Amino acid sequence: MRRYTRLAPLGLLLALAGALSAPAAADGAPLTHDDIAWLRRASFGIDSATLARYRELGRDRWLDEALADRDDHLPPAIAQEIDGYEAIATPPAQLVMSYRETLRQVKAMPDGDAKVAAKKAAQIHGRELMRQAQQAELLHAIYGSNPLKEQMVWFWLNHFSVYGNKGPVRLLAADYEEHVIRPHALGKFRDLVMATLKSPAMLVYLDNAQNAKDKINENYARELMELHTLGVHAGYTQQDVQQLAAILTGVGVIRPRDAMRGPRMNRRGRFGGFDRFGGERPGVVRQGLFEFNPARHDSSDKVFLGQRIDGGGFDEVEHAVDLIVRQPACAQFVSRELAEYFVSDHPPQALVDAMAATFQRTDGDIAAVLRTLFTSKAITATAGAKFKDPVQFVVSAMRFSLDGRPITNAQPLVAALNQMGEPLYGRITPDGWPLDNASWAGSGQMAKRFDIAGMIGTGRAPLFAPDGTLPRRQPGERPDPPTLNGPLFAQAMQPWLSPHTRDALAQAKSPAEWNTFLLSSPDFNTR
């Protein structure tokens, strides 16, 4: 029975520090507390569709289906929304070329108000493309049919982090998520590494676009080993970093105009990646904006991770990546990162070892490693130990609140992540946003989180207004809050609420306050 009394003070919510209550019988519900705890980690937040599919298939088949990655779709309204974004619908090369042409035209304009206005319009357009990339990722996370895959897309976007405000990366962010990370989120880790290595967003962000013979830039080589694959203390040396940087010379980005047209002579009498007869120059590798240019490559022999690599163009890169991902340190590093994200800040070493063994046995099959993780007892033994980072909080709150109802404006959610300090493509350093609880549970963070809970719980965010404008209301009229105190809550949360949360909910004086208290509670903010 719903009961709304007077407003519970914020201090009461801040005092809700208890862990989830002990498992209890589901009072006739077919799913147990262990089922719900498992789903809260395997999904990006529970909604009715997730519960229904889990009931239909059971845990093992639900996991089989998710890891098989055969049915990755969006509701038609959301797919249409994303497909309509310029950042998604336009090839990256065309986006970059058009943007640069606009900047060239602005630069050629005489000084004055018109030039200032044109420059400002170009900057606004660039920021809008970035916002579209952020909205597309959030809409995928909230509405994607495979919630485990959506978590992995976000995990890898963070693991292979790029900073959107560096150079043209903001124009390439949507392509990075759609065509670099998403297709490999549940595939082979080596393929994911190679996809990011060929990504113009990564090559620009970590400066390998400037890495050339006699002008070595070690930035990407260092982060590829330290942050993406092996970890900090994996036994490699500075010599290995230098050798990898040499191997990566010539791995860069082609001019967008050349990426969009066939063989054509440039001002130096050369034909881009082609010879004068239209054939590709020997050794050139191209894929969209990516290019390996042997003319910029150090083709000498190298010794990397104790292995000799003969000078041989792009084959050196393939060989080096093979060596990296087959290192036991790579299996340990990636497995530990996954276990920290899904299980706890300090996952059991036995779990990490088991995942690493699977990684090595399956040649880095991400789905197989996840199967080891999600079939282990550790996945629910620590239920409630992980505090949701802002992305997990916003996505799970929207999945729970909307329960599949499509929105037309995800910009308020992008703004919410900005306010909570975890903007998508907003991490300046390449280490990605932290995975530990303490980074997101400070008092300042909690105050912002309660504000966002109120925005969602009261229904005041303009999520259903395409242009972001709020509907006109009469004086004193308030927006309709979503109905969180419904069947989904009764099945997925109510039986196992802590006493503190029950007390707080009992003090709510309106549905909007009840929603806000629930979304602010430790029961909702942990998994």
Q: What digits encode the pLDDT tens for the residues 167-196?
A: 999 999 999 999 999 999 999 999 999 999
- Same domain, residue pair 250 and 359: yes
Is 483 a domain residue? yes
Is 141 a domain residue? no
Q: What digits encode the pLDDT tens for the residues 22-55?
A: 333 344 457 999 999 999 999 999 999 999 999 9
Q: Is the pLDDT of residue 280 over 70?
A: no
- Same domain, residue pair 334 and 245: yes
CA 74, CA 170: separation in Å to the nearest integer? 24
Burial 197-217 (b: 16+ CB within 10 A, else e): bbbbbbbbbbebbebbeeeeb
pLDDT, mean of residues 254-273? 63
pLDDT, mean of residues 232-257? 95
Is 285 a domain residue? yes
Residue type present at position 489:
F
Residue type present at position 386:
K
DSSP-assigned beta bridge partners for residue 38:
none
Q: Is the pLDDT of residue 355 over 50?
A: yes
Is 62 a domain residue? no
* pTM listed for this prediction: 0.90
pLDDT, mean of residues 433-452? 93
Is 354 a domain residue? yes
Reference 20, options 336, 492, 474, 435; nearest CA is: 492
- Same domain, residue pair 376 and 514: no
Q: Count the domains in the chain.
A: 2
- Same domain, residue pair 213 and 302: yes
CA 327, CA 307: separation in Å to the nearest integer? 12
Which residues are CB-contacts of 58 (< 8 A; sequence separation ≥ 6)? none
**In the prediction, which pLDDT does 330 show?**
98
Last residue of a domain, one of 323, 355, 382: 382
Q: Is the pLDDT of residue 468 over 70?
A: no
| pLDDT band, very low/low/confident/very high, at 107 (cuts 50, 70, 90) | very high
**In the prediction, which pLDDT does 19 show?**
35
- Tell me the residue range of the domain where 501 lies: 390-468+477-525
- By DSSP bridging, strand 251-253 and strand 290-292 are antiparallel
